[in-house]
């Protein structure tokens, strides 16, 4: 029988994963790797593995055992999920479809290619199938009911071990869940300026901070803040890009944003072609001015 297992690397992914599962239209279970669980998302079972800190190869082996009997295994798209789920697909000798944004049936999926400029339709003819999903296209899940809870063991032999994990951003929302994102590029000059200018703005509006690949590569912003094809895929209500030129790589990560606001002193910056609102101005003048208006 067709059955879906949704693997959740972080509890903030729960609603997105459940929305996809309900759209797929088959019985599903949720496997939380963070230790935090929710029982109101329509799953038949809620499993808890408490293994999100495990190395990818060991976690992949552990998931291979837990995924036995499922026709579909899915996770919300992230750098970690793509790493682990690819290993899982190899262990299961299964087909894998990444960055699913739409469904035609339980075996036909839509995914972006060529940095989002083309949407491919992919049919999978054999089970099991391993998926990573961009949740923005699947709306909100229907809440209600209570699911049975169960703990599972996800221990797997690993040739690597995690010795340290660091992250910056404090209490700000996760990029993939934030309603407002303030993002910046290389014109922010250094990490201190980046935090002072964009961090203060984000805190004022209750948003998250993002960055371009160029800003990350230059040491201006932390790696976990990178938005784009090789970073995080986001879909906020408002995406404010300050000093962002609009490379193909970056635009692939923000194309699902409801409103894109661009601030750039170059009137020919490519991002203005995609922005809903554009302001040709120096970000060091525009951002403080916007903050003052919000205070009023």
Q: How does residue 71 score in pLDDT terms, banded at 50, 70 and 90? A: very high
Task: Judge contact between 76 and 168, C-beta under 8 A.
Answer: no
Q: Distance between CA 130 and CA 134 in Å, rounded?
A: 14
Residue 45 CB neighbour total at 10 angstroms: 16
User: Which element (helix H / strand E) includes 222?
Assistant: none
Strands (E) in the chain, as ranges, are: 4-8, 28-32, 45-48, 72-76, 95-100, 102-105, 108-113, 118-123, 129-133, 148-151, 180-184, 208-211, 238-242, 259-263, 277-279
pLDDT in tens, 105-122: 999 999 988 877 789 999
Which regions of the chain carry the CATH code 3.40.50.1220? 180-295
Question: What integer pLDDT is reported at residue 160 of this predicted model?
Answer: 80
Could you tell me which of 20, 21, 95, 83 has the C-alpha nearest to residue 52? 83
At residue 79, what are phi and psi to the nearest 5 degrees? -60, -40
Question: How close are the terminal C-alpha atoms of the chain, in Å?
Answer: 59
pLDDT in tens, 139-190: 889 998 777 788 888 877 787 877 776 655 457 888 888 899 999 999 999 9
Q: Kindly state the tokens that stand for 216.
A: 């990350």
Question: What integer pLDDT is reported at residue 173 of this predicted model?
Answer: 85
**180-295: CATH homologous superfamily?**
TPP-binding domain (3.40.50.1220)
**4-151: CATH homologous superfamily?**
HUPs (3.40.50.620)
Which regions of the chain carry the CATH code 3.40.50.620? 4-151
Could you tell me which of 197, 184, 199, 183 has the C-alpha nearest to residue 257? 183
Strand 208-211 and strand 180-184: the pairing is parallel
Q: pTM for the full model?
A: 0.79
The β-bridge partners of 46 are: 30, 149
**DSSP labels, 15-28:** HHHHHHHHHHTS-E
What integer is the mean pLDDT of 190-196? Answer: 93
């Amino acid at each position: 029988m067709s059955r879906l297992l949704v693997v959740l690397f972080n509890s903030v992914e729960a609603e997105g994963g459940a929305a996809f599962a309900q759209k797929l239209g088959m019985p599903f279970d949720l496997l939380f790797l963070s230790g935090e669980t929710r029982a109101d998302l329509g799953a038949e079972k809620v499993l808890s593995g408490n293994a999100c800190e495990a190395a990818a190869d060991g976690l992949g082996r552990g998931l291979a055992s837990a995924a036995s009997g499922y026709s579909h295994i899915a996770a919300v798209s992230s750098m970690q999920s793509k790493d682990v789920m690819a290993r899982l697909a190899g262990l299961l000798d299964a087909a894998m479809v990444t960055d699913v944004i739409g469904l035609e049936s339980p075996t036909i999926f839509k995914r972006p290619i060529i940095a989002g400029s083309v949407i491919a339709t992919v049919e999978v003819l054999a089970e099991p199938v391993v998926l990573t999903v961009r949740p923005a296209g699947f709306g909100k899940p229907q809440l209600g009911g209570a699911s049975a809870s169960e703990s599972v063991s996800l221990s797997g032999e690993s040739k690597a071990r995690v010795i340290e994990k660091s992250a910056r951003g404090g209490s700000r929302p996760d990029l993939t869940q934030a309603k407002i994102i303030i993002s910046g590029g290389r014109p922010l000059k250094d990490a201190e300026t980046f935090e002072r200018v964009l961090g203060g703005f984000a805190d004022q509006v209750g948003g998250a901070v993002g960055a371009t690949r160029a800003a990350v590569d230059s040491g201006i912003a932390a790696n976990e803040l990178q938005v784009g094809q090789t970073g995080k895929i986001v879909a906020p209500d408002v995406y404010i890009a300050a000093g962002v030129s609009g490379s193909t790589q970056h635009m692939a990560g923000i194309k699902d944003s409801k409103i894109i606001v661009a601030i750039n002193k170059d009137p020919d910056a490519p991002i203005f072609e995609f922005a809903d609102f554009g302001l040709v101005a120096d970000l060091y003048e525009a951002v403080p001015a916007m903050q003052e208006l919000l205070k009023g």
